Amino acid sequence: MNILSDIKYAKRLLIDKPLNKKICYVHIPKCGGTALQKAIVASYGIKNYLNQSARFVLDAGASKRATEIKGGDLVEQRFTLLHYALNSRAKFVSGHFSINEDVLNKYGNEWHFVTLMRDPVEKWISNFFFNKYNTDNAHAWKIDEDIEDYLKTERAKKDGCDYATQILGMSHNEINMSEEAINKAVSLFKRFSVIGFVDEMNEFEHQFQRCFGVPLALKSENASPVRADKKVLSEDILREIKALCEPNIAIYNAVKHG
């Protein structure tokens, strides 16, 4: 534990001026979301921290298991939960929700949408290692294949285009990575109040404070159980991963540098 970051976190809860705007954090997998979620919750102050109804945080694994039991599509089930959350008494909503243009149009005046993005190849690799070597028996996204076999699966392909599918509200069973879909995804991301990048967290903290008037107390959470390092992968494997990630790379570069 980092004692200084813990002190900073406690200070946000107990001393500083609390945040008073509504934020929906769209958590993209393996983009530092667990740490950001906790930091934003602390920014609402101790009164809201103790008030459970002041925040709605999606349990991703529970929502997946519930959908498997009930039947239906996971994205649609989460859309229902998102609409519920945005119409509840919550001031902060967070989770692996899909967002589409209708959600932004309907709630954009009341809610501020925030997200973090990460280099797509690094994100893909981190996601694979996290799910491959996770030892939690209740983990809902366990990967059994070795990376060579996993690269041939539809799930691996979806991991390389989830920036688009998540912002366009696509079903997990549909992948439409046309140039039009990619451009649409970029235009929707650019409507967010704050978008940060994992390799530029100091800049994200500055943007967040400029937008909301309060600082963040960030600390690292939910690391992969095995170091997800490009150096352990062959050049052939890296080329395959990069090819799968082409849609995410196009969106990431357009949002970050466009």
* Domains located in the chain, CATH noted: 3-257 (3.40.50.300)
For 98-154, the pLDDT digits (tens) are 999 999 999 999 999 999 999 999 999 999 999 999 887 777 789 999 999 999 999
pTM of the full predicted structure?
Answer: 0.88
Token pair 């954009």 is at which residue?
108
Q: How many CB atoms lie within 10 A of CB 20?
A: 13
- In eight-state DSSP terms, residue 19 is P
The pLDDT, as a whole number, for residue 239 is 96
Sheet holding 92-95, edge to edge: 55-57, 92-95, 23-26, 112-117, 194-197
